[in-house]
Amino acid sequence: MRHVRSRALPASLAAVLLSIATLVAATDAGAAAGRYAALGDSYSAGVGAGSYLSDSGSCKRSTNAYPYLWKNAHAPSAFSFVACSGARTGDVLNNQLSVLDSATTLVSITIGGNDAGFADTMQTCVLNSESACLSAVAAAKSYATTTLPGKLDQVYTAIHSKAPNAHVVVLGYPHLYKIGGSCIFGIGDTKRAAINGAADTLDEVIAKRAANAGFTFQDVRGLFTGHEICASGTVWLNSTTLPVDESYHPKAAGQSGGYLPAFTAGA
């Protein structure tokens, strides 16, 4: 067997490889040293996912929520988790932005669903007639297209002002229902389709305003496909449940399987 002698790398190639290794190491170190702030509503707080932090009170921030999971995986130098159950755009402006500053490098947020009347619309659709449901959905969609854009602009402008050096990831909302799926208890396909249509309208508005602000929008609808309420596979969303405020929110599997990958891809 012929012996093949190893050869030393040319000095120029060795220098290039060393430069690449140094750049990669610096990039990894920079990512680890980042300052991350998680803002928004119950979908970012992790309501419905269990394992709530004792100091979060009625905000119900969960250790199973995507911001907390991302923090565990990436070990940022600072982590501010202020997303809160029931938050609207005004709550973000008044109660959450104080954690941001020029040193903040990464921000995540879900917001807009409560402004558009998500909880009230769901209650109407579950408890009342089809016509009442369709009227409630139409009102929510009208709000989303006429009033919500201005409110989102205020939030996004304020985030950029407080954290001018941050990369901001805005996440949307999933479809709640599998159309044609089977549930022992639940609402019919007409109501399900209307509710999913409201999510589409909301996501379209949020995506446009985020893009206009120069932020990254991450759509979670595709990731949740096949995992909606009434789907035949593993369901990632709570249906009507107790406590009531956890209804129609992602379970722990929805946070880890849907929101975390979407946020990671955008971050």
Three-state DSSP at 216 gives strand
3-state class percentages of the chain: helix first, strand second, coil last, to nearest 5: 55, 10, 35
Query: Does the active-site annotation cover 227?
Result: no
Query: Does the active-site annotation cover 129?
Result: no
- Phi then psi for residue 189, to 5 deg, are -65, -30
Are the CB atoms for 247 and 238 separated by under 8 Å? yes
Q: Max CA-CA distance within the chain?
A: 84
| 243 alpha-carbon distance from chain centroid | 22
* Token digits of residue 149: 């854009």
Are the CB atoms for 41 and 84 separated by under 8 Å? yes
C-alpha distance across the termini of the chain, in Å: 52
Separation in Å, CA 206 to CA 19, 109, 143: 41, 11, 13
* Token digits of residue 176: 């709640």
In the set 62, 108, 247, 249, the catalytic residue is 249
**Alpha carbon distance 131, 114 (integer Å):** 22
Nearest Cα neighbor of 49 from 203, 210, 254 is 254
CB atoms under 10 Å from CB of 22, counted, come to 10
In the set 42, 44, 62, 247, the catalytic residue is 42
CB atoms under 10 Å from CB of 129, counted, come to 11
> What residues act catalytically?
42, 249
